[in-house]
Structures are given as C-alpha cells and as structure tokens.
Structure 1
Amino acid sequence: MPELSMCNELLAAEGRGLAEQCAVARALGYMGLELAPGTLGPAPDRLSPAETAAIARTVADHGLVVTGLHWLLAPFPRLSITAPGVAEETRDTLLRLVDLCAALGGRVMVHGSPGQRVPPAGEAPADTFARVADFFRPVAAHAAAAGLTYCIEPLSRAETPFINRVAEGAALAGAVESPAFRTMIDISAAGAAEAEPVAELIRRWLPGGMIGHVQANDSNRGAPGTGADPFGAIVRALRDCGWAAPIAVEPFTTVIDAPVTLAIGAATLRSAWEAAA
C-alpha cells in the first residue's frame, strides 16, 4: 500500500518535541512527517539554514523523511490570500515556506489555513476567485522551480466560504495554469462539503491528475477508524485508482492521546488496504 505520513501537530500540542514526534512515527510504522510550520518555532519562514538543517537531521536520524508542510498560514493570523492589503506580505511568506519545504526535502505543500482566506465583505465571488488565481501564480512558479506540488485544500463551509469543493479547487488550479499547482482531497472536509460519497469523489477526480495529495481523517475530525466513515470503500477507491503517493494521517481530536489516535489511523488504513486486495 502507499506509505503513510504523520501530521505532527497533535503530538506537538501535547508538548512532545520533534525528536519524540519522530520516535512515535517510527514506532507506528509511518515513513515520514507532514509538518505544520507553527510547530517549528514562532517564525518558521525565517529559520536559519542551520536551524533548518537541524530539523532535517533529526527526522533523518529516525529513519524518516519530511513529506511536506501544511497549515501554512496558521502561524501568521494577520496574513490572507484574499485580503488585498496584505497580499504582497502573504505571498512573500509563502515563497519562504516553499523554500523551507524544499530545504527539508518535502514534496507537497498543503494550503488549508481557513482563517486566512475569508473573502472581503461585498466582493463578488468571481472577483475574489480571479484575484486569488493571480496571487498564486508566482507561488506556483516558485514551487515548480523547487520541484514541489502546491495544493489548495477544499474545506467545509463551516471553516471558510472560499474553495469548499474539489471542483472549486480544480477550477482554481486550472486558472493558475501551473502543473505544480493542484487541489487535493481531505477526507473529513470532503465528507462535510461534497454531495457525493468520498469514495465516489475519489473515483471521479483521481484519474484526471488534478489531485496532488490525500489527507486521511474521519468526519468526526478524528483519525480514520475513530468514527463512522466507510474507510473500506474509501481505501478501495484509492487502490482501484492507483494512488501510490504517501497518504497523510491528519486527525484533529484524540482518543486517549495523540500516539494512540495515530496508531488507530494507521492500523485502519492498512487493514482496509489489505481487505481491498
């Protein structure tokens, strides 16, 4: 089955440092970490080369890799991809985060950050969409030069009014017009935002090549296996469509604690993949 990457923010929220996060990931059979920049320090976009190298070395010393970054703008609450007044500062921050991801050996950038993509009051949706597409073109070009895939993450309307469905993410990617800029499927968000079951969504969108990443979580915001989502059907769809890139396990709530939660998520995905054979 595809290798599993572990999103690190739940462990960081429990006060576990990077070395302990890596030890947990290794013990649970994850191949790498998908890092939330806010867990790396108060100014993750301005880490020195020595600090960046130390992070990469800690991960590598545990036999793991950094697969990418997510929650990109969470450490920067005043920034926004939709607010014209901070567009330049926001873009510059994202360009530096692309450089950080590349320096750490990551391959994918996941742009969720719902608090930093609220459209201005009174602006027509088409105008917001066109302006954001313009905003992302230099970011996509920078990601392409670094060999990264930059994904806009569709999120539910409970989180943001901008880019809620995979079709909307794909439309934005089409407007940006870069092979490095794509959309993705977050299983929890898709379960809340899409009209069709997630397994059918996967079968419809994966073959076209517009999906650059998959994050696995339950509609209850926990790990796969902690709720009622049909991961047997979801994983079968991923398998049938030939998904081979890492799958990131990204729970937001815990069962007992973060390591137990991440163990449940990994075990659920692995058993579902085996059952789909």
Structure 2
Amino acid sequence: MKLSLCNEVLHPLPFDRQCAMAAAYGYAGLELAPFTLADDPQTLDAAAARRFRTTAQDHGLAISSLHWLLVKPDGLSLVSMDATVRQKTVSLLKRLIDVAAVCGAAVLVHGSPKQRSPLPGQSLADAVERLHDALAELAPHAAAAGVVYCLEPLSPAETPVINTVAQAAAMVDRIGSPAVRTMLDVSAASQAESAPVHQVLAHYLASGHIAHVQLNDKNRRGPGQGDTPQQPVLQVLKAAGYTGWMAVEPFDYQPDGPGCAEFSARHVKAIWSALS
C-alpha cells in the first residue's frame, strides 16, 4: 500500500520536521497543502518544489499529491462572474500543476468548496458550468505536466457544487481528458452518497474514474476515530489491485495533529495487513 499523510495535520511544524515525523509513523508520502508552504502560494516555483521533493526524499518519503489548492490568497473563485477573478484562479492552479510535477506528485485534488460555490445572485447551474469550463482549460496543462487533476466530490454541508462521485464522473466524462479524473474522500462520501461508500468506490474504480483516495471518518477525524468502517473501503482497494495513493486526511485532530497522524497510520496499516 502507498499511504500518505496530508501535511497540514503537522502544520505549523517546519517541513523537514513534518517529513521526519511522517516517516517515523510509517507513512510513505506527504500530500501537500500549498497554504502550508508559502504565505502566498502564487510565489511557489520550481526551485521551491525541488527543495520540498529533496527534503522528503531525504526522509525516505515521496510527495504523493497536492490538495487544499485555493485556501490562499483570498478572493479566488473558479465560478465568479468576474473574468479577471476566474483567470487569476486558473493561473494559480496552472502554477500548482507545475509545482506538483516538479515535486514528483502524481495527483492534485481539487476540493476548495468556497471557490466553486455559487456567489450571491448566481444559479447553481451557472456555477457548475463555470467549474466545468475551468477544469477543461486546466486539462491540457495537467496532461503536458504528466499529472492527474482530480475533481473532489464534497459534502452538501460544504458546497452544493459536485457532491457525489457520480456527479464528478459525469463532469470528467464531459471534459474527456485522461488528465482529469475524480477521487473519493471517505468522510465526504459518507455524508453525500446514498449507497455504501465501499460500493461507490468499487463501481468507480472499475470504471476508471477514481485516481486517488482520502481516508478519514464521517465525523472528520482520522480513520478509526469514529464509527465509519474503513475495512470495506480498504478491502475494495486491495481486491482491485489499486496502486494509487491513499492519503490520511483528518480535519479534527484528536488528541492533536501528531497523535492523530500516528493513530491513523497504525489503524490503516493493521487493517491492510489483515486483509486477504
């Protein structure tokens, strides 16, 4: 298995310390949130990306992926009716695609609920279409960089735009690029899907839509820190011969970031080892 830790769990520790701790807990990679790497992610460049990659490698880790792409700077939106705002947001995402490629990351995860939600006076349908158009513009850039850009389905509590894997898969199919796919976050899927999460995962793994998985609990804590069963999800991944990354992404760190990261790794690895 390829288990990664979302690095904001260990933020604001220095990046080298994050790497050392993640390696000590048994992770093979880090999933990077750009807002943890620079006050303004627009300043990230190839030189910075090479430093992150080298530091991770020095600790035996890979950079698996990027996520939480649009936390900073303020005022970004892919669905704004202001073309200047939309283009500024797309330009940052193109920069982050390039950073991901230099880091050696295979995937970018596009969640960013605020930056894709309808603005006052805007219809849901208009926001969905503008998100589609932005992803379609990003597709050739991601393809040229050799990375996969994943549209993340999020819970209705976060955004009304793309809540289920089926909705994400439909948009991926409309774009029609192998560089744009979707992914599954266990917590979000537990809140948004009508079918059991592992069944949704099995279906869209088989169809080729899913390129990444994030592990957590419906209660937004780490895997194993709530009532959401992780074993069926991991069983599907193992049975399918899934070779992509599984990233631990809690939002509520209990008892704290390091404690949550350590517990989550132990829990997931114990389940995986017990699977046939």
Identity of aligned residues (%): 44
CA shift for structure 1 position 123? 4.0
String of CA shifts for 1:127-185, please: whole Å, max 9, x gaps: 33233222211211100111100001000010111010101111111111111101110
Q: Does structure 1 residue 79 correspond to structure 2 residue 76?
A: yes
String of CA shifts for 1:5-54, please: whole Å, max 9, x gaps: 11000210xx3110110001110111111000000011223224433322
TM-score when normalising by structure 2: 0.95
CA shift for structure 1 position 187? 0.4
Quick one: structure 1 residues 234 and 49, their matched pair in 2 at CA, closer, same or farther if it must change by over 3 Å?
closer
Letter in 1 for 2:257: A
String of CA shifts for 1:204-223, please: whole Å, max 9, x gaps: 21101000110000111111
Q: Which runs of 5+ in 1 are unaligned?
A: none
Q: How far apart are the structure 1 equivalents of 2:249 and 2:178? A: 25
Q: How far apart are the structure 1 equivalents of 2:258 and 2:65? A: 20
Contact 1:99 1:146 in 2 (8 A): yes
CA shift for structure 1 position 4? 0.3
DSSP-derived class of the 1:16 partner: coil
Q: Does structure 1 residue 261 correspond to structure 2 residue 264?
A: no
Q: How far apart are the structure 2 equivalents of 1:258 and 1:63? A: 21
Q: How far apart are the structure 1 equivalents of 2:54 and 2:274? A: 36
Q: Does structure 1 residue 41 correspond to structure 2 residue 38?
A: yes
Q: Does structure 1 residue 138 correspond to structure 2 residue 144?
A: no
Q: Give the equivalent residue in structure 1 for 2:22.
A: 25
Q: Give the equivalent residue in structure 1 for 2:52.
A: 55
DSSP-derived class of the 1:274 partner: helix
Q: Which runs of 5+ in 2 are unaligned?
A: none
Q: How far apart are the structure 2 equivalents of 1:205 and 1:49? A: 34
Contact 1:77 1:116 in 2 (8 A): no
Q: Give the equivalent residue in structure 2 for 1:156.
A: 155
Q: Does structure 1 residue 229 correspond to structure 2 residue 223?
A: no
Q: How far apart are the structure 2 equivalents of 1:52 and 1:202? A: 32
Q: How far apart are the structure 1 equivalents of 2:179 and 2:45? A: 26
Aligned pairs, number: 274
CA shift for structure 1 position 55? 2.0
CA shift for structure 1 position 242? 2.2
Q: How far apart are the structure 1 equivalents of 2:202 and 2:166? A: 13
Q: Give the equivalent residue in structure 2 for 1:99.
A: 98
Q: How far apart are the structure 2 equivalents of 1:25 and 1:81? A: 33
Q: How far apart are the structure 2 equivalents of 1:276 and 1:77? A: 44
TM-score when normalising by structure 1: 0.95
CA shift for structure 1 position 246? 1.5
Letter in 1 for 2:63: V
- After TM superposition, the structure 1 stretch with the greater mean CA deviation from structure 2, 89-98 or 267-276, is 267-276
- Superposed CA RMSD in Å reads 1.4
DSSP-derived class of the 2:114 partner: helix
Contact 1:68 1:101 in 2 (8 A): yes
CA shift for structure 1 position 3? 1.2
String of CA shifts for 1:47-86, please: whole Å, max 9, x gaps: 2443332222211211111111000001123111111311
Q: How far apart are the structure 2 equivalents of 1:115 and 1:17? A: 27
Letter in 1 for 2:87: E
Moved over 6 A (4+): none
Letter in 2 for 1:214: V
Q: Give the equivalent residue in structure 2 for 1:192.
A: 191
Contact 1:22 1:59 in 2 (8 A): yes
DSSP-derived class of the 1:89 partner: helix
